[in-house]
Amino acid sequence: MNMITQINKSLNPFKKMVRTLFRFAIAVMVPGLIMISSAYAQDRTLTLDEAVKLGIQNSKVLKLSQSKIDQAVSQYNQAKDRALPTGNASFAYNRAEIPANRLALGPTSFSLPKNADAYLGIVTLNEAIFAGGKYKYARESTDLLTKVARLDADKDKDEITYDVISSFYNLYKVLQSKKVIAQNLSSIDQQIHQSQRFFEQGLVTKNDVLRFQLQRANVELNEIDLESNRKVINYDLNILLGLPESTVINISQITEADRQVGSLNNYIDTAMLNRQEVQQLVLQSKVAETNIKSVRANQLPTLSASAGGYYVDANINPLPKSGNYITPVTVGLTFGWNFSSLWTNKNKVSEARIQRDQVSINQGIISDNIRNDVNRNYENYMVALNKIKLLQTSIDQAGENNKILESKYKSNIASATDRADAETLLYQAQINLELAKADAGLAYYGLLKSTGKLNKQ
C-alpha cells in the first residue's frame, strides 16, 4: 500500500498538468468550433422583396451598367468642351553661331556678330464663331446616347430582377415539395405501423406491409433528388444576392394577392409604351437624324476669330529690358470653306441615311418580337391559372378517394395496393398544386417583365 501511495503521489503533478492542458484545449477549441460551424451554416429567411433588393444592390452587371452611363456622360461633357475657345502658349530660345559672318556687297561690306541669341514667346486664343452646327449636333448626339445607356441599365436591372425572382420561385417550389414529402412520409409511417399491427393480428399478409415500405422508399428517393436540387438552386441564389456561399436560404410564405387579368391588347399597348427597346429605338432614330445633319454640316463654310500676343527679344538676357524686345499683338477673323466637300461628302450623307433607314426597319422587327413575347407570357400565365383550378379539383377528388380507401382498408375491404395508390395520388396532386402556384407567380412576373413594368409596379 505504501508503494502504491508513493506512485500515486508521484503521478499527481503529471495528472494535474494533463488536466490543465485538457481544459486549455477545450477553452480554445470550443469557441473556434462554434465560429467555424456558424461560418459554414448560416440560415437566412428572405421575402421576395428582400431578395430582389439584395440582387440589385450586389449585382456586378448593374455596376458595369453604371460605369457605361458614367462613360456616356463623360463623352457628352467632352462634346460640350469642344465648343469652348482653344488657347496655346509657348516660349522658345534660339542661339545662332555664325562662323562666316562677313558679307561683301560690291564696294561695301559689313560683318555680323559671331553668335546671336533670340527669345520668342507666343500666346494665342481661338474661338469658332460658326462651324456649320457640328458642335451643336455633337452635343445632341452624345446626349441622346447617354439616355440610351441609361435605358440599357434599366433593361439590365429588369433582367437581374427576373433572374432573382425565377431562382426564388424555383427554390420555393423545391421547399414546398419537401414539405409535402415530409407530410407524406409521416402518413406512410402511420400506414406501415397499422399494417404491421394488422399483420400480427393475421388480417393482412406480409406483402401488404412490404407494399407500404416500398412506397416509403420511393418517396425517400424523391426527397434525395429534391435536396440535391435545393442545394444547387440555393448556391446559385447566394451568388445572385451576394450572400456567403454557405448561407442556407429559407423562404417566408409567398402571399400572392388576387390579380386582375386584363386583355392581351392592353398588355401589348403597355409594352409598347414602357419597353426599353422601344424607347431606345426612338432615341437611336433621333441620333441617326442628327448624324445626317452633322455630315451635311461638312459642306458649309466656317468662321473663327483669333487673338495672339508675341514677345521677341534678341538680348542674351531673357528678362525684358527696355528697348531690347518687341510685343506685337494680333487680332483676326478666318473664313474657310472646303468647297470640295460639295462633291466628296454626298456618299457620307447617303451612308447616314442608310443607317437611319436601318433603325426604322429594326423598329418593326423589335415591335413584332415584343408582341410575340407579351403574347407568350400572357398565355403562360393563363395556363398556370387554369392548372391551379383543375389541380384544386383533383386534390378534392384525390382526398375523398383517399378517405374512402382508408376506411375500406381498415375494414379489410380494400387491398394495401389500393390504399397506397390512393395515398400516392393525393400526394402527387398536392405537389402538383404547389408547383402550379409557384409557376403562376413566376408567369405573372414574366408577363410584367415583357410589358416593361417589372420594376415600375
Cell numbers for 99, please give them: 562662323
Query: pLDDT at residue 25 above 50?
Result: no
pLDDT given for residue 377 in this prediction: 94
Nearest CA to 133 among 282, 348, 291? 291
Cell numbers for 222, please give them: 424523391
Nearest CA to 131 among 277, 304, 259? 304
Contact 377, 452 (CB under 8 A): no
pLDDT given for residue 457 in this prediction: 62
pLDDT given for residue 158 in this prediction: 92
Contact 408, 146 (CB under 8 A): no
Backbone angles phi, psi at 352, to 5 degrees: -65, -35
Q: How many CB atoms lie within 10 A of CB 427?
A: 22
pLDDT given for residue 416 in this prediction: 66
Domains of the chain, each with CATH number or no CATH: 46-84+131-301+341-450 (1.20.1600.10), 92-100+115-129+302-336 (no CATH)
Calculate the CA dihedral of residues 279, 285, 287, 289 and round it to 10 degrees. -150
Q: For the purposes of burial, counting CB atoms within 10 Å of the CB of 221, is it exposed (0-12), middle (13-18) or buried (19 or more)?
A: exposed
- Tell me how far apart the alpha carbons of residues 370 and 237 are, in angstroms, rounded to a whole number: 28
Residue 147 CB-half CA count within 13 A: 17
Average pLDDT rounded to a whole number, residues 139-145: 89
Over the stretch 272-289, which tens digit does the pLDDT of each residue have? Answer: 999 999 999 999 999 999
Q: How many CB atoms lie within 10 A of CB 251?
A: 19
Query: pLDDT at residue 269 above 90?
Result: yes
Measured over the CA atoms of residue 382, residue 385, residue 387 and residue 390, the dihedral's sign is negative
277 Cβ partners below 8 Å, 6+ apart? 155, 366, 370
Over the stretch 414-452, which tens digit does the pLDDT of each residue have? Answer: 776 677 778 778 878 888 888 888 889 899 999 999 999
Average pLDDT rounded to a whole number, residues 135-158: 89
Average pLDDT rounded to a whole number, residues 10-34: 47
Q: For the purposes of burial, counting CB atoms within 10 Å of the CB of 445, is it exposed (0-12), middle (13-18) or buried (19 or more)?
A: buried
Confidence of residue 256 (pLDDT cuts 50, 70, 90): low
Confidence of residue 19 (pLDDT cuts 50, 70, 90): low
Nearest CA to 154 among 276, 57, 283? 276
Over the stretch 167-226, which tens digit does the pLDDT of each residue have? Answer: 999 999 898 888 888 887 887 888 788 788 878 887 777 887 788 788 888 888 988 998
Contact 149, 64 (CB under 8 A): no
Q: Which residues face 302 on adjacent strands?
A: 336
Query: pLDDT at residue 122 above 90?
Result: yes
- Tell me how far apart the alpha carbons of residues 66 and 61 are, in angstroms, rounded to a whole number: 9
SS3 142: helix
pLDDT given for residue 236 in this prediction: 92
Over the stretch 314-350, which tens digit does the pLDDT of each residue have? Answer: 777 767 777 778 889 999 898 888 888 888 888 989 9
DSSP conformation letters of 379-442: HHHHHHHHHHHHHHHHHHHHHHHHHHHHHHHHTT-S-HHHHHHHHHHHHHHHHHHHHHHHHHHH
How many DSSP H helices and E strands does the chain contain? 10, 9
DSSP conformation letters of 1-49: -HHHHHHHHHHHHHHHHHHHHHHHHHHHHHHHHHHHHHHH-EEEEE-HH
Query: pLDDT at residue 255 above 80?
Result: no
Q: How many CB atoms lie within 10 A of CB 308?
A: 15
Confidence of residue 354 (pLDDT cuts 50, 70, 90): very high
pLDDT given for residue 282 in this prediction: 92
Query: pLDDT at residue 410 above 80?
Result: no
Confidence of residue 5 (pLDDT cuts 50, 70, 90): very low
Beta strand ranges found along 189-293 (DSSP E):
247-251
Query: pLDDT at residue 249 above 70?
Result: yes
- The rounded mean pLDDT for the chain is 83
**% residues pLDDT > 90 (the chain):** 27
Nearest CA to 427 among 224, 180, 226, 176? 180
Contact 409, 416 (CB under 8 A): yes
Over the stretch 68-111, which tens digit does the pLDDT of each residue have? Answer: 889 888 888 888 888 889 999 998 988 888 888 788 777 788 78
Query: pLDDT at residue 37 above 50?
Result: no
Q: Are strands 108-111 and 102-105 parallel, antiparallel or unpaired?
A: antiparallel
Backbone angles phi, psi at 201, to 5 degrees: -85, -5
Cell numbers for 426, please give them: 393525393
